[in-house]
Amino acid sequence: MAFNPNNYKAPTAKKLPVILLLDVSGSMSGKKIESLYDATVDMIESFVAAQAKEQSIDVAIITFGAEVTLHSPYTPVKKLQENGIPQFTASGMTPMGTALTMAKDMIEDKSVTPSRIYRPAVVLVSDGAPNDDWRGPMDRFIQDGRSSKCLRYAVAIGNDADRSVLERFTQDPNAVSFAEDAKDISSQFKMISMSISTMATAPNSSNSSVVPTPSTALKYDNNPENDDDDDLY
């Protein structure tokens, strides 16, 4: 067979998608929205530091308030760190159901979230209760299709956050963090970023020191033989 230098391809880094679903409703104004932004920046920096050579952690940010917006599409964390994240603006209500629908559509679309990658990690953050039709979108997210394989985390901000909604999303109270006030958001984000990074670098090991953990029913599995469609590892 004739030698062809084009036949030799360097292995590409496997993508680890992370979707942040962030409540930017009017109740998040002031210190909360500032702390949420700072915590998001810190999370990106944590991912950059923890990212292994064979990984590409790509983060997408969906904000929901006066509008549901793809604030940032999937972007490698190094690029996010270099270019910065647009500031958040707090206003409006809490259309969580619409945000979940957008996230699910991103995950189901293989041109956006491709096959044969790490299972996406989804982090839902809110300081209140949803006021749209959220139950159907949430149930479809956690029960149907590719989104049902995601690792799911949640952060409740303040005493007004409806933890029952967030626990319904994670299906595991241990996967819901509580930020007592604005200054506590960053510490909760750091723990989640540690957990996501650990699940990616050591998918089949348990590490009880990393809190919170995603639902045990959704633990990362890198063995394609255990995956129904060999799609998301």
Question: What pLDDT, on a 0 to 100 scale, did the predictor assign at position 59?
Answer: 97
DSSP, collapsed to helix, strand or coil, labels residue 143 as helix
CATH level 3 topology of 13-220: Rossmann fold (3.40.50)
Sign, CA dihedral 105-110-114-117, equals positive
What pTM was computed for the model? 0.84
How does residue 201 score in pLDDT terms, banded at 50, 70 and 90?
A: low
User: How far apart are alpha carbons 132 and 176 in whole angstroms?
Assistant: 21
User: How far apart are alpha carbons 103 and 147 in whole angstroms?
Assistant: 9
DSSP alpha helix (H) spans, the chain: 31-50, 77-83, 96-108, 135-143, 163-170, 185-201
Amino acid at 23: D
Question: What pLDDT, on a 0 to 100 scale, did the predictor assign at position 203?
Answer: 46
The residue among 208, 207, 201, 200 whose CA lies nearest residue 232 is: 200
58, containing H or E segment = strand 55-64
Question: What pLDDT, on a 0 to 100 scale, did the predictor assign at position 228?
Answer: 47
DSSP, collapsed to helix, strand or coil, labels residue 111 as coil
Residue 170 near residue 153 (C-beta atoms within 8 A): yes
pLDDT in tens, 25-46: 999 999 999 999 999 999 999 9
Quickly tell me which residue has 């890198």 as its tokens: 222
Question: What pLDDT, on a 0 to 100 scale, did the predictor assign at position 82?
Answer: 96
- Answer whether residue 215 shows pLDDT above 90: no
Residue 95 near residue 132 (C-beta atoms within 8 A): yes
The residues, ordered by sequence, that sit 6+ positions from 200 with a Cβ below 8 Å of its Cβ are: 16, 52, 55, 57, 118, 220
Cα 177 to Cα 103, 135, 180, 214, distances in angstroms: 20, 21, 10, 11
How does residue 12 score in pLDDT terms, banded at 50, 70 and 90?
A: confident
pLDDT in tens, 115-140: 989 899 999 999 999 999 999 999 99
pLDDT in tens, 53-81: 777 899 999 999 999 999 999 999 999 99
Domain ranges of the chain: 13-220
- Answer whether residue 167 shows pLDDT above 70: yes
How does residue 202 score in pLDDT terms, banded at 50, 70 and 90?
A: low
**Range of lowest pLDDT (18-27, 126-135, 158-167, 198-207):** 198-207
**Range of lowest pLDDT (53-57, 78-82, 97-101, 159-163):** 53-57
CA atoms within 13 A on the CB side of 70: 12
